[in-house]
Each structure stands twice: as structure tokens, then as C-alpha cells.
Amino acid sequence: MSPAERPGPNRPCGPGTLYLFVRSERVEYGAVQRIGADRQWCPQASVELPGAGPAGPMPSFTALQEALHALAGMSSPQHSPRPQRPIRVLVADAWLAAVVLAWSPALTRHGSAQAYAHSQFLVAGFEVLAEDVIRMDDAPFEAPRLAVAYPRALLSCLREWAHRVDGRLASVHPLSVAAWLLMQRPGRSGMPSGPGASGTGAQALAVIEGNRVTIAHSLVRNWRGVSWISGLSQRQAHADGVTARTLADTWQRLCLREPGLPSVAHVALLDLSDGNAEPGELGAPFTPIGPQVQVHAALMGSLETRAGAHALCFQGVPLPCTRWQWIVLATLVMACAVLAVQLIRGFSSASALQARIAQTERARQPAATGKTWSREEAARVQAVNRAIRELNLPIDALLDALVPPQDIRVAVLSMETMGRTTNAPSQTVGIKILAQACSGADMARYVAFVAGRKPFGGAYLMRHEILDPGENCPYRFTVEARS
């Protein structure tokens, strides 16, 4: 660890979240100090990985474990982390495995999605164990998704180091994901504005870390104009490091595989390497997004905001709530309690008002008194009703209906209503006809004639008699006609 990497008296480090940056060639940890509206990265210690070199292979997890042990021993009592201090880790993409998953119905369920992602990692040539943790992004429905695999050995090393420094592993973030989210919001976390860091969401991002180049790209955006990573490509440079030529060749090869990428006008460049090509030597379409010191502090600070809740990040042990979180929670509980009391009072007032309205309406309605009729009074009422019914009879229409045609030899002698001399029900409307016919056939035809005349609904022969067989019309009969 160089002296410049230790925090001096003029670079105080606050007791906030501790950040660990696992790079491809070394590991370092520190804190982010907020000075006004800016953030400043305060490194505390840095250790080179054993066997790491520009042209060498990727260090093993055993080398990473040794480096983390050495890093934990460098913590001085003055700057030792507090117990249960949250630790957020930023990991270079070289330590992880990433693959783009084509859309499949298996992605709609968690169990089948994990199995589908595991099979795609094997097809792509990655050795992913069953104990490794796979995270997939939350791309829109039927869109390709990016999956990242966290090796179990890596997570074990990080948990062990967090325990040695008396901290708690809060989250682990891929470097490309944190840089992508930070690039889309240049006005946050101390990120400087620039042509490669448009707030509308750039479509391509190149990250140089150590001797490797990682290019994340996206060709689609959602309805809010925000793009997500739909492709991730990594390449290791030669022993001379990542040069402008290496970066241009990597971009050209990727454009040949993705026909839509040549339309990207600006590719944001995040250079975290030591001693690579200067920004002025880079040609189009690469545009650096800021000085490395500011970008480093902004990357670490962004892990507390959008990147901390990203679907591709690994979430560690949940941390206890802070004082401000408890204050906000207590405020919400009090607001809900006040709202519940107001609702209960409003419901009680509405119920009481409805009861008073119903009572007022009942008071306005006159009380119904039941009338008990005696037998004589009921008989008089029925007689009055029959008399009214007789007065309402259409006498003229009834008389016209009783006149027989010329071919029926019948004479009508009398007519009387049934309500006056009979015991017909009060709802019956009809008359009784007394007539005399010259023959039995004429008598029968007349009864049928009256039954078919309006306003009668039927006619019945009640009785008949023969007065004197020697007379011309000896048949006298009585007919009841009802409507």
C-alpha cells in the first residue's frame, strides 16, 4: 500500500458505510466523505493480489482470500470500523460470470428461471456450481435478460473479511451495473455532466479496469426513456495494457456482432486503470465521463441509492434500521393511526346522522290505526259496494247485447242484476235474464248467443219450464250472464 493511499490528517474519513473494491489486480477499501454537495473518496488500505500481472491469468480465490486477510490486518485502531458497520462491495466483472438470456416462458417463474439461467451459463462455457448465486435483471416482459453469477467462493471470502473487520456484508455490486446506473444520472452522487453521460440514458458504456475492457450496451428503452443492459462483452488486453487501439478494435468487433451498435454516437468511457491511454488520444465514439478521482467517489456513493436495490446485485444480511429510518417509520405509524381514528369518527358520525334522519321520517308519518268492523257493519259495507257496482253497470250496452236476432224466436221478459236478489260474490258482475222461447232449439241458440256477446264472458241456463204445450211459445227459462 502506497503512502498516498492512506488517509492523512487532511483527508478525514467519517464513520459511515465502508466500501470494498475488489479489482482484478488488487483490493482496496475506504469510505466516502461528503464535503458540501460533493463526495470524496477516502482510501484506507490497498493490497495487491498475489500472482496478479498485466499478462498473467486471473488470480484465484485463494489469492483473493490471502489479500483480504492482509487487508484486514492493516486496519489501525484509529481507523478501525465500528461494530456492525455496513459494508458494500464493488466487484470487477472479471470475478463474475455474465450471460444474456433469450426470452423464454421459463423466466416467468423463479424456480424454472434459475434452472434456465444455469443451463445457459453452462452452454456459454462458464463453470457455475449449484451453490453459486444467480441474479437476473428486471427487463420488460419478453425482452432478453442479463444474468450474473456470483461464485460461492467469492461470497465466502467477502463474508469472512466482513466478519474480521467487525462489519456486516450489506451488498455486492458488479462494476458494470453500478457504472451503468451512475452514467444515466449525471446530476446525482457527484457525477459530472458530459456528452457521454446524458441524463436520457446512454446506450453503450466501456469500462477499463486493470488489463480488461468491459462494454455494456443496450439498444432499447422503456416508455420513460431509460435503457437497461441487454449485452455485456469482456476482453483482456495484451501485456502492454489497454490502449486506444485495443479499445477501438474491441468496439469494432462488437459492432459486427450487434448491427444496431454503429448508430450509437457517443460511448461513455469509464477508465479505472493505472497508466492507460490519455483521454485526448481516444477517438470517436468514446467520451470519458470524468476524472478518475471523482468517478471513484461517485461509484461508491451510488451503491447507497439506485445501484443498491438493482436486481443484478447480491443483497447480504439485512442491516438494522438507522435512527432516521426509525423516525420515518414512527411518523408513518402515527399518520396511519390518526387516519384510522378519523375514519372511525367519520363512520360513527355518519351512522348517527342516518339514525336521526330515519327517526325524523318515522315521526312525520301518521300512525296507522287498525279499524275493527262488526258483522253488521261488514254486511252494510258489502251491500253498499254491490249498490255502487249496480249503478256503475253499462245498462245501455247490456240491453243492446240482449236483443236476439230475427232468426231466434225469443222474447226477453225481464232483467235484474245478480247482486240485488242473489248471493253472488261481491267481485262478480252479471245479470239474470228471464225469457220465453217458441222451441227448445231457440232457447239453446239464445243462451249461446248471449254467451258470445260483449261485455259478457259467459252465459248459463239456470232453469226452464214448459207452460202450456198448446201455446205458440211455451218454453220459459232463466239465463245468468257474467262478465
pLDDT at 3: 33
Q: Which residue has the higher pLDDT, 80 or 469?
A: 469
Q: DSSP letter at 227?
A: B
Q: Which of 294, 405, 304 is nearest to 87 (CA)?
A: 304
Question: Is 295 buried (19+), middle (13-18) or exposed (0-12) by CB count in 10 A?
Answer: buried
Peptide bond into 474 cis (omega under 30): no
pLDDT given at position 429: 63
DSSP 476: E
Q: Which DSSP symbol is given to 273?
A: S
List phi, psi (to 5°) of 114.
-65, -40
**Mean of pLDDT values over 191-205:** 49
Summarize pLDDT for 61-72 with one digit per residue, the tens: 888 888 888 888
Tell me what pLDDT residue 193 has.
Answer: 42
If you average pLDDT over residues 23-36, what whole number do you get?
A: 80
Classified as helix, coil or strand, 208 is strand
Highest mean pLDDT among 36-45, 169-178, 376-385: 169-178
Residue 119 has pLDDT above 90, yes or no: yes
Region 451-461: mean pLDDT is 82
Task: Identify which has the larger pLDDT, 398 or 113.
Answer: 113
What is the per-residue DSSP string for 152-165?
HHHHHHHHHHHHHT
Dihedral of CA 177/181/184/186: which sign?
negative
Kindly report which listed range (112-126, 302-316, 461-475) carries the lowest average pLDDT score.
302-316
Please tell me whether the overall predicted TM-score, pTM, comes out greater than 0.85 for this model.
Answer: no
The helix/strand/coil state of 348 is helix
Q: What is the pLDDT at residue 28?
A: 87
Per residue in 421-441, pLDDT (tens digit) is 444 554 556 788 888 888 888
Residue 67 is classified by DSSP as H
**What pLDDT, on the 0 to 100 scale, is given for residue 37?**
63
Neighbours of 465 (CB within 10 A): 9
181: amino acid identity, one letter: L
Give the three cell numbers for residue 397.
Answer: 250496452
Rounded to whole angstroms, how far apart are CA atoms 96 and 58?
11
Q: Evaluate if residue 142 carries a pLDDT over 90.
A: no
Residues 196 and 184: beta-carbon distance below 8 Å: no
Q: For residues 251-259, give the mean pLDDT.
A: 85
* Alpha helices per DSSP H over 78-231: 110-123, 152-164, 175-183
Average pLDDT for the chain: 77
Instruction: Give residue-wise pLDDT tens across range 361-392.
Output: 888 776 655 567 788 888 888 888 877 777 77
Confidence of residue 86 (pLDDT cuts 50, 70, 90): confident
Query: From CA 215, how far away is CA 229, in angstroms rounded?
Result: 10
pLDDT of residue 421: 45
| SS3 at position 109 | coil
Helical (H) or strand (E) element with 149: strand 145-150
**Would you say residue 308 has pLDDT above 60?**
no
What average pLDDT does this structure show over 180-184? 78
Position with higher pLDDT, 399 vs 196? 399
Contact call for residues 479 and 410 (beta carbons, < 8 A): no
Cα–Cα distance for residue pair 297/34, rounded to 1 Å: 10
Sequence-ordered list of residues with C-beta below 8 angstroms from that of 223, at least 6 positions apart, any chain? none
The rounded distance, in Å, linking the Cα atoms of 167 and 346 is 50
Q: Which of 210, 162, 183 is nearest to 29 (CA)?
A: 162
